[in-house]
Every structure is written in structure tokens, then in C-alpha cells.
Structure 1
Amino acid sequence: MKTVAIIPARGGSKRLPGKNIRLLGGIPLIAHSILNAQKQNFIDGVYVSTDDAAIKTIALKYGAKVIDRPDSISGDFEPTVSALKHVLETVDDEVENVILLQPTNPLRPDNLLKEAFGIFQKGNHDSLFTVSRNHQKLGKIENNKFIPFNYMIGQRSQDLEPLYFENGLLYISKTSLVMNDIILCENAFPMEVTHPFGNIDIDTQEDFDYAEYLLNRK
């Protein structure tokens, strides 16, 4: 049984064209996830699923195995699980666990993958994902009126009930889930990450600039 890392990377970014191959800290964005996965002795293979020739070239250069993604599952609205499932259907090896690393979350704390996989195995979980705590006062606007969601007007921020968001740093799932078009099951384990890297999800130039700022600080 094997554990593999899969990095899905399409070439059709609209808000930040070519983002997956843009240089961050001197190396292409996608290479950060490839190199991170390659450092882990429990990961038996690193795969990049892509429909883009430039991404494929870079992925191969950095030692990843590339699975050419068909156009039929490369559209803007195609769920990520389609790419993961296609990789598993393509490779010959028997895979037990899948680690999803999104290239748009390129910076991860040094021991994150190791710690997460340890929790995943020790707890015998079917899936695991990373979350970060949200410290903001949230609400919605209806009929030009702001309606607080997680606090009462006048309440101190430090007294807010803890709320968390899915930060996208990593996902771990049993292959059996992925083959049934599921990444996270209902009892997926939420692993809290307090590192600032949990706030990086690159979709715009501002996101990219913030990632560069944090990388330079590190």
C-alpha cells in the first residue's frame, strides 16, 4: 500500500495568468509543493495533474511524475476530486492514501505534512484537513442592515466564540473515498494550524505579493 501526493495544477488562471509557474522566492509556484512532498519519507510518489505544457515541463524538471489531465475534466467548474480520481485510475501502483497539495497554497510550516500524516494514521481517520481560526467579527447585510453573525454589538474580539476556516494547506484522504468522488468525509479530522502560512491562498496579485512578503520574512 502506498501514500502519494497529488498536486492538481491547471493552466487557465484568469485573475493571475500563469500563476502556477510564476517565480516565488526564485522557484516556480508549483515547485514549492513538489519539493515539500519530496522531503517526506512516507510519501511514495509525487504526481502533478495538469493540462498545461509549461506546467508539465516544470513539474518534470523538479522530479514530479506528470499525469496529463484530459480536457473533459479541466474546466473551470470541474471539482478537484476529478483530477485526483483520474490520477489514481491512471497509475499502476496500489494506493491507500492520497495527500492533496494545492499549488496555490505554496508555503507550509516545515513539519506540517509529517505531523498531519501522523495524526491521520494514529487516529485511523478516513480524511483530514487543515483549518485556521478566524478572529474577525462577521456578519451579513440584508436590506442595507448589517446583521452580526458570530458576535453581539459591543462584544470584545477576544471573547468571540472560536470559528475556523478551511485554509487549504493540505488534505489527506483514503483512496476509497476519492474513488467515490469524496475528499472529505463527514467525520474528517480538522487539524488546526496557527502559522501565518495558513492565510495564504494565491488567486490575485495581492495574494502573491503577500506570499512573497511572508517568505522573505521567513
Structure 2
Amino acid sequence: MAVVAVVPARGGSKGIPGKNLRKVGGVPLVARAVLAALSAERIDRVIVTTDDDEIDRVASAAGAEVIDRPADLAGDTASSESAVLHAIHELGEVPEVVILVQPTSPFIDPGDLDAAVAEVAGGVRDAVFSAVETHEFLWTLGPDGARGVNHDPAVRLPRQQRQPQYRETGAFYVMRGSGFVTHRHRFFGRIGIVPVDERGAIEIDTVEELELACAIAPMWEHHPLPPVDVDAVVTDFDGVHTDDSVLISADGVERVSVTRTDGMGVDLLRRAGVPMLILSTERNPVVSARARKLDVDVVQGAQDKAVALWEWITAKGLDPDRVAYLGNDVNDLGCLESVGWPIAVADSHPDVLAAARLVLTTRGGEGAVRELADLVLLAAERRAAATPPATPPAGIRHATSDHLLEAL
């Protein structure tokens, strides 16, 4: 057993209830950690240790193996080290390299994981962790006032003349397996650092940090766009199939403009057997007329889009986690929250951009539907070419589906 990543994800959290299931960019935090580890070329297995049934389900869907975490190792005072040691015990073998991956860090670069593994596996270091370089002046505040911690306040050297220091991000810790089992701690022997991009070096412990991560997500990860592995596609109409503008004639008739590029994308999905729904609150008959032209399901004039979406998903017998919803404005937020792939067009409202798992490069009415269709079809091609996963070892539950492996 060469390189094993362990993601400790307990169900209890005092600061943010259900924190490991909260979504950033439309993806639960525990799934983001799993997907980052699975995307690293040097990691052989990804294990989630949890005491929570829903985390178990989400982690399995993301592609992880799951180990049940005992209650005495899932309390507020339990350490991450204890969870990793328990996971190693359950594996029955000490990995050459073991990685502690924290789900509270939503923007882990798989390349950084590979760089850290290379140092440990190559014998250069015994333990390596993620950190950001900093030249900040640190202070401590006591009864007698503030004091400089890492500098002499009377001699303020310019940045160029000061050695950089490093702030631990908490995202990941890569360790020689035997050394970790012996020391029972993540820092031992020759310790190294892998500098990571400070723009994504956020650790979520508060609601405010969660909100910040959601705001950062669209800017952080929508290039390049990943395949969208889903079984069905649902879209809003105005602002998605159209550019959200309307022409009104003297007699009050409203007209909109669409693109044949989107029409071709819908046709390709339909030919591939992917169910599609156009869902809109708009009452203008142009919505249903366009749906008839495209030969797809339509619900318009919906008072509650999320309810209408759920009814359609249920009637089709679909798994909501394997449905994509493409929207652009605040009345789409309920639908975006209800599916596994919430997606936004490029010119969406800021709240929609923050809720989206994926932000397209194309604006509404300018080929966004076609762009999504191409991503869905690409995922289908890769899924068809994929080989079945190996049978998991006894006692460890393997993922039941791999539909999220291409995320992030």
C-alpha cells in the first residue's frame, strides 16, 4: 500500500452545524476534499473516516472508500491524528505515505498534493505540510500593550531584506506512514513545506469564512471547465436560452431572441438520450413554443421553481445529485441548491455565481446551453470508456458511483 489519503469528516460541528456537508461552489466540503485527492496522480487510495450517514453517502458518491469512525473518536476533543491512526488500523497495513486531507480547506490543488508526496516518498522529508509565504509583521497584545513577535518594531526592515516566514494553511499534511504511527503526530523528523497559492488558502471555521469561500469559488475554479457527469439537464429560460432582453411591439406582444447554437446543443443531448426540462416562471407562450421546437419537456408559469423541479425529477425517477440545473438569477437559487450540479451562465447574478458549482464561460443567449451540452456529452464519453473499479477490501465500503470524479 503506497500512498493513502485520509479525510477525517465527523458529523458534529459547533461553529457551523453540518460543516463538512456545507457546499462551496455547489459541492459539499467533504466531496471537494475527496475529489482533490482523487485528482492527484501520486495518491493510490482515498479514505473518508466518518460517524455520519449522510457524509458516508456523499463521500462514497464522490469516489472515496469509507470507514466508520467510532463515537469516541468523533467528539469535539478528538484529534485528526486519532482518526487517521484508526483508519490505518482498519486498513490492516501501514501505508508508505499517509496524507491527512482537511475538508475545511475547499481549494486544494492536486498538484500541490503530488509535490508534497514526492518529497516524502523520495526520502527528502518525513513530513510535509501546506503553507503560504508571508512577510507580515506579527504582534501580540498583553496587559502592557502590543509587542512585536517576529520583528523589532524599532528596526522595520523592508520586505526585500527580510526572510519569508510561512503560515500553515491546514489543507493537507503528508507523512511517512511508519513515522506517523511511531510518533502519533503529524510533525516529526525532517519537516518540509509546500507553498500554496494564498488566494485559495482559506480554512473554514466560521460562517464568515464559509461565505468568503463561496464568493471565491467561481473565480478560482471555472477554468478549465470539467466534464459534467449527469443523467439529466434542467435550464431556466430567460437569461439562459435568451440574453434576458425582450422586444415589445406596439400591440404588447413580447419577442425574444435565441441562438441556433443552443438549439443544436439541445438536439445533441436529446439524441444521446439525456432528458431535458425548460423550467420558467415566465408566462409568455414563447417559452412553451421554444420547448416544442426543441422537443423537450417544459414547465412555465411555475410559482415555486424548486417544487416544480422536484416533481419533474421524481416523475422521471432521477437522482437529484445527477441532475444539472443551469440558471442566471436569484429565482434560480432554490433549484441550484436542489441538484448535484448547480451551474451558472457567465453573466449571472452574484448570488447565483456564489451558489454555482460551475460557471460557464458563455453568457446567456450566446451559446451557454450548447457549452453545457458539450460538457455533459464529454462526461458521457469518458464514462463509457472507463473501466470498472476494483473490488474493495473486506470491511471497507467502496464508492457506489463515480459520477463526481471529474469535478473541480
Q: Return the TM-score normalized by structure 2.
A: 0.50
Measure the CA separation in 2 of the matches of 1:119 and 1:135: 25
User: CA contact under 8 A between 2:73 and 2:82: conserved in structure 1?
Assistant: yes
Aligned to 2:84: 84
Structure 2 regions of 5+ residues with no counterpart? 221-408
Aligned to 1:135: 135
Measure the CA separation in 1 of the matches of 2:41 and 2:109: 17
User: CA contact under 8 A between 2:120 and 2:176: conserved in structure 1?
Assistant: no
Give the match's secondary structure for 2:96: strand
**Letter in structure 1 aligned against 2:8:** P
**Letter in structure 2 aligned against 1:165:** R
Aligned to 2:205: 203
Aligned to 2:181: 179
Shift of 1:94: 5.2
Measure the CA separation in 1 of the matches of 2:5 and 2:214: 24
Aligned to 1:2: 2
Please tell me whether residue 49 in structure 1 is matched to residue 52 in structure 2.
no
Cα distance change, pair 122–108 in 1 and its aligned pair in 2 (3 A):
same
Aligned to 2:26: 26
User: CA contact under 8 A between 1:108 and 1:169: conserved in structure 2?
Assistant: yes
Aligned to 1:71: 71
Measure the CA separation in 1 of the matches of 2:93 and 2:203: 31
User: CA contact under 8 A between 1:8 and 1:48: conserved in structure 2?
Assistant: yes
Bigger mean CA offset, 44-53 vs 208-217: 208-217
Identity between Structure 1 and Structure 2 (%): 33
Please tell me whether residue 191 in structure 1 is matched to residue 156 in structure 2.
no
Shift of 1:87: 0.5
Aligned to 2:171: 169
User: CA contact under 8 A between 2:101 and 2:173: conserved in structure 1?
Assistant: yes
Shift of 1:175: 1.5
**Letter in structure 2 aligned against 1:166:** E
Moved over 4 A (4+): none
Q: Return the TM-score normalized by structure 1.
A: 0.90
Deviations 1:125-145 (A, max 9, x none): 221112212333211122241
Shift of 1:110: 4.7
Measure the CA separation in 2 of the matches of 1:157 and 1:211: 32
**Letter in structure 1 aligned against 2:188:** C
Cα distance change, pair 52–101 in 1 and its aligned pair in 2 (3 A):
same
Which structure has the higher relative contact order (CA within 8 Å, separation 6+)?
A: 1
User: CA contact under 8 A between 2:121 and 2:176: conserved in structure 1?
Assistant: no
Structure 1 regions of 5+ residues with no counterpart? none
Measure the CA separation in 1 of the matches of 2:158 and 2:77: 36
Measure the CA separation in 1 of the matches of 2:138 and 2:219: 29
Measure the CA separation in 1 of the matches of 2:110 and 2:7: 18
Q: CA RMSD in A?
A: 1.9
Write 1 or 2 for the structure with the bigger share of strand. Answer: 1
Shift of 1:24: 1.1
Deviations 1:187-209 (A, max 9, x none): 211222243212x0001111111
**Letter in structure 2 aligned against 1:84:** V
User: CA contact under 8 A between 1:136 and 1:157: conserved in structure 2?
Assistant: no
Cα distance change, pair 105–17 in 1 and its aligned pair in 2 (3 A):
same
Measure the CA separation in 2 of the matches of 1:88 and 1:14: 27
Measure the CA separation in 1 of the matches of 2:7 and 2:140: 34
Measure the CA separation in 2 of the matches of 1:99 and 1:134: 24
Give the match's secondary structure for 2:208: helix
Alignment of 1:96-115 (within 5 A): 96-115=96-115
Deviations 1:82-138 (A, max 9, x none): 111101110145521111110001212352122222233334322111221233321
